[in-house]
């Protein structure tokens, strides 16, 4: 057992230290699959036996270890007294979705390449309490709510390798095992890289210029006492993400951004800008059960986040002139102190402690759960720029202690498929959140009301390029952002066809947005968003057709831009080759209608309004084949297969082209020994 583990580690070290590692990758965090914000359900497909993972055989050829002996749970399962051990997924569906945009069903968008800044296509309800507002790279790390805690009968190893086309590479290595019957210890390692595609430089020493690099490491552990009275969950999470910030590319102007010129030598707007974000999180959850109806729990977080942006030559960003596109504005609107360079550092520290009571009452198959808590958060923020250059006082600090009180109720019906939950949380003297949700086999519906503070970045920011203060001066003080959200979705099964029609309605007040100059503004009047959606899945024998579509209307598109229509679809066929090779072959499509998508400003890590160029009205096609033999799953994928076929160029964000047609290959290997 020890020799096998050391062998895997040796192979991994060879990957990381070999010269070829510059072209390699790492593991993706757990992403939601299928459905939408109203609660769409994930689907599973695969050839016959797709759920049968590999296993170890003893001397009598009996199956000993495999997916069913390696199970995991989430912290939320323990917190809500609904702990259920989940077996490892060995299906073929979705293993080709290596790109983060694809993993989120194209409900997020980036700057056209792996590891670039992400944003949600649709409106997202904000969290209450003080938030940094720096979240463009957060999804590239493991999320606290998705950390898996294991209970294994044998050592478990999960190895994932993607050799993506045009320098997009990912490597993940996970290992866990039970130290004792009640104590498990493991770690997750992720490495991700991508290369510059447009406007980059090459050299004989470094080869193709690196666009983004990502390291993410998690060590996790869980323990329970002999009588199950005490439970401990803990993990340490480190994210290190670096990106080259090009600001887009300069190319022939076109108000609709649809003309392709493959022979054009594109030039980056920014040639000396880069950013780096580092996150550290030490998370602890533990509970003690005095009685099923009365339990004590405690959640502690120590978090640190730093974001650094540097541009050692801001002249090109200040004087951008595109003779073929005269409507295009300079990237930087101005400078306040230093005309040569800008250096910006934001440091955020947080200590959060939640103590609470919870319990469960059961009768005749139904269950009633409750939870009440007190949560304290203390944060410190420091923002500094161009230290030591022309600026006598170029930093500011702020800190605050926040106290929350909250409660949660859940009722689970005897059929185990229907439940009703309600939650309320109040930040004393300020923010408020109320949520209610009904889930059943036929219907998912809910309502939420949120009044949230502006982010720390929206409130106050000082740099060489931008300066604002909406916190200290009452005349320009930002008010609480209000969100009223009602939603519902039906889950209908009509023979072999499953339909999931849904509707979301938002009423927004005091909405804060970043205008065309990338400066935050608050809208005093209210406006609404109406979104209808339809998910579908049809199975007939070995053939599967599935997808989802969204139709969205915004009553004020001067401040919030969302494509009117967005759709995903996939067509798959599974079959067996040579009696051992399971194959799931298919093609997937994605479409967005034309709209003025937001532009990215790396200095503040914010997407902002722009009125210069429209994006969308483009259909992207990607054929793929997922394969499994024993415990090994593989995939082949041709991304952006229809590039140039309709004389169009696809843009993920204004002035950022999506990566050209590329071929990807991946291996996913599960070991249970």
Render pLDDT for 322-354 as a digit per residue (tens, 0 to 9): 555 666 788 999 999 899 999 999 999 999 999
Residue 407 lies in a domain: yes
CA distances to 508, 557, 596 from 560, in Å: 11, 5, 10
Asked if the structure places residue 532 within a domain, the reply is yes
Residue labelled with tokens 């490597």: 171
Q: Are strands 210-224 and 230-244 parallel, antiparallel or unpaired?
A: antiparallel
The Cα angle at residue 619 between residues 563 and 247, in degrees rounded to 5: 65
Secondary element (H or E) of residue 471 = none
Looking at 61-153, list the stretches that DSSP marks H as alpha helix, in order from N- to C-terminal side.
75-79, 100-103
Lowest model confidence (mean pLDDT) among 4-18, 183-197, 362-376: 4-18
Strands 481-490 vs 492-494: parallel, antiparallel or unpaired: unpaired
The rounded distance, in Å, linking the Cα atoms of 638 and 663 is 5
Give a yes or no: residue 414 inside a domain: yes
Predicted pLDDT of residue 609: 97
Q: Which residues pair with 534 in a beta bridge?
A: 501, 549
Q: Mean pLDDT across the chain, nearest whole number?
A: 87
Kindly tell me if the per-residue pLDDT of 239 is higher than 90.
Answer: yes
Per DSSP, the three-state class of 119 is: strand
> Rounded to whole angstroms, how far apart are CA atoms 300 and 78?
15
* Mean of pLDDT values over 458-464: 94
Of 45-54, 178-187, 658-667, the least confident: 45-54
Residue 204 has pLDDT above 90, yes or no: no
Residue 12 lies in a domain: no
| The predicted structure's pLDDT at residue 644 | 81
Domain assignment of residue 84, yes or no: yes
CATH of the domain at 84: 2.40.170.20
pLDDT of res. 412: 92
Number of domain units in the chain: 1
Residue 156 pLDDT greater than 50, yes or no: yes
Cα angle: 176, vertex 181, 184; to 5 degrees = 25
- Please give the average per-residue pLDDT across 539-564, as a whole number: 97
pLDDT reported for residue 475: 65
Q: What is the pLDDT of residue 20?
A: 36
Task: Give the pLDDT of residue 260.
Answer: 42
Distances (CA, A) of 419 to 49, 412, 439, 629: 32, 4, 5, 39
Q: Is the predicted pLDDT of residue 376 greater than 70, yes or no?
A: yes
Q: In terms of pLDDT, which residue wins out, 219 or 325?
A: 219
Q: What is the pLDDT of residue 63?
A: 58
Q: Are 361 and 367 in contact (CB under 8 A)?
A: yes
Confidence of residue 17 (pLDDT cuts 50, 70, 90): very low
Q: Is 135 left (phi over 0), alpha (psi -120 to 50) or beta?
A: alpha
Number of neighbouring beta carbons within 10 Å of residue 261: 11
Q: Mind listing the pLDDT tens digit for each residue in 81-93?
A: 988 899 998 899 9
The alpha carbon of 126 is separated from its chain's Cα centroid by a whole number of angstroms, namely 15
Over range 128-137, report the average pLDDT: 96
Percent of all residues in the chain with a pLDDT value above 90, rounded to a whole number: 72
pLDDT band at 8 (very low <50, low <70, confident <90, very high): low
Q: Which of 231, 233, 230 is nearest to 221 (CA)?
A: 233
**What pLDDT shows up at residue 667?**
96
Confidence at 529, pLDDT banded by 50, 70, 90: very high
How far apart, in whole angstroms, are the C-alpha atoms of residue 356 and residue 373?
Answer: 4
Question: How far from the centroid of its chain's Cα atoms is residue 197's Cα?
Answer: 23
Residue 464 lies inside a defined structural domain of this protein: yes
SS3 605: coil
Q: How confident is the model at residue 23 (pLDDT cuts 50, 70, 90)?
A: very low
Confidence check: pLDDT of 172 > 70: yes
Residue 526 has which token pair? 């209210």
Longest dimension (CA), the chain: 80
CA distance 501 to 488: 9
In the predicted model, is pLDDT for residue 50 greater than 50? no
* Containing structural domain, residue 542: 70-200+209-248+266-672
Task: Give the confidence band of 51 by pLDDT, cuts at 50, 70, 90.
Answer: very low
Residue 100 in any domain: the answer is yes
Virtual torsion, Cα 161, 165, 167, 170, nearest 10 deg? -20
Beta bridge partners of 501: 534
Q: Can you tell me whether residue 222 is helix, strand or coil? A: strand
Is residue 15 over pLDDT 50?
no
What's the mean pLDDT in 508-515? 97
Which of the four pLDDT bands, split at 50, 70 and 90, describes residue 205? very low
DSSP 541: T
Q: Decide: 522 and 478 in contact? Cβ < 8 Å.
A: yes
The answer to the question of residue 63 being in a domain is: no
Neighbours of 252 (CB within 10 A): 12
């Amino acid at each position: 057992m020890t020799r096998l583990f050391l062998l895997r580690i040796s192979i991994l070290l060879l990957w990381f230290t070999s010269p070829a590692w510059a072209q390699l990758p790492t593991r993706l965090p757990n992403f939601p699959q299928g459905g939408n914000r109203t609660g769409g359900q994930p689907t599973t497909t695969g050839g016959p036996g797709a759920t049968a993972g590999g296993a170890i055989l003893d001397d009598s050829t009996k199956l000993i270890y495999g997916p069913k002996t390696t199970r995991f749970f989430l912290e939320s399962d323990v917190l809500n007294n609904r702990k259920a051990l989940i077996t490892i997924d060995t299906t073929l569906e979705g293993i080709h979705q290596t790109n983060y945009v694809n993993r989120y069903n194209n409900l997020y968008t980036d700057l056209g390449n792996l590891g670039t800044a992400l944003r949600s296509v649709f409106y997202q309800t904000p969290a209450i309490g003080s938030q940094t507002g720096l979240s463009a790279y957060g999804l590239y790390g493991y999320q606290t709510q998705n950390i898996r805690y294991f209970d294994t009968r044998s050592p478990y190893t999960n190895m994932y390798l993607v050799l993506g086309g045009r320098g997009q590479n990912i490597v993940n290595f996970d290992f866990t095992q039970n130290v004792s019957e009640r104590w498990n210890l493991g770690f997750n390692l992720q490495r991700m890289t991508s290369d510059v595609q447009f406007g980059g430089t090459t050299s004989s020493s470094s080869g193709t210029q690196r666009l983004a690099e990502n390291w993410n490491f998690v060590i996790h552990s869980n323990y329970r006492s002999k009588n199950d009275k005490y439970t401990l969950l803990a993990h340490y999470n480190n994210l290190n993400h670096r990106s080259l910030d090009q600001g887009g590319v300069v190319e022939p102007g076109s108000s609709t951004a649809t003309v392709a010129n493959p022979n054009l030598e594109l030039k980056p707007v920014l040639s000396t800008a880069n950013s780096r974000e580092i996150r550290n999180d030490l998370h602890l959850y533990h509970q003690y059960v005095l009685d099923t109806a009365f339990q004590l729990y405690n959640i502690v977080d120590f978090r640190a986040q730093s974001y650094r942006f540097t541009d050692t030559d801001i002249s090109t960003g200040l004087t951008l002139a595109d003779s073929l596109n005269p409507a295009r504005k300079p990237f930087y609107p101005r400078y306040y102190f230093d005309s040569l360079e800008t250096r910006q550092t934001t440091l955020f520290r947080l200590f959060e402690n939640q103590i609470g009571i919870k319990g469960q009452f059961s009768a005749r198959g139904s269950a009633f759960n409750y939870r009440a808590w007190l949560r304290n958060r203390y944060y410190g923020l420091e923002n500094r720029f161009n230290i030591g250059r022309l600026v006598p006082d170029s930093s500011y600090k702020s800190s605050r202690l926040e106290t929350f009180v909250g409660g949660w109720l859940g009722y689970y019906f005897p059929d185990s498929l229907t439940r009703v939950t309600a939650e309320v949380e109040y930040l004393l003297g300020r923010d408020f959140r109320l949520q209610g949700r009904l889930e059943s086999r036929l219907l998912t519906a809910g309502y939420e009301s949120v009044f949230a503070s502006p982010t720390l970045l929206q409130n106050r920011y000082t740099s060489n390029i931008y300066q604002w203060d909406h916190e200290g001066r009452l005349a320009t003080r930002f008010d609480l952002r209000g969100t009223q959200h009602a939603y519902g979705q039906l889950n209908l099964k009509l023979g072999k066809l499953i339909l999931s029609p849904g509707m979301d309605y938002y009423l927004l007040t005091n909405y804060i947005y970043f205008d065309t100059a990338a400066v935050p503004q608050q809208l005093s009047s209210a406006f609404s968003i109406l979104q209808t959606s339809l998910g579908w899945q049809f199975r007939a024998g070995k053939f599967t057709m599935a997808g989802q579509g969204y139709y969205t209307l915004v009553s004020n598109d001067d401040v919030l831009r969302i494509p009117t229509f967005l759709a995903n679809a996939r067509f798959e066929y599974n079959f067996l080759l040579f009696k051992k090779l399971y194959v799931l072959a298919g093609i997937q499509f994605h479409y967005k209608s034309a709209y003025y998508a937001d532009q990215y400003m790396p200095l503040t890590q914010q997407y902002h309004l722009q009125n210069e160029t429209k994006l969308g009205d483009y259909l992207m096609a990607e054929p793929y084949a997922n394969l499994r033999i024993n415990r090994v799953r593989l995939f082949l994928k041709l991304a952006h297969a229809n590039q140039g076929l309709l004389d169009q160029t696809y843009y993920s964000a204004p002035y950022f082209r999506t990566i050209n047609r590329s071929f990807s290959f991946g291996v996913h290997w599960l070991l249970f020994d």
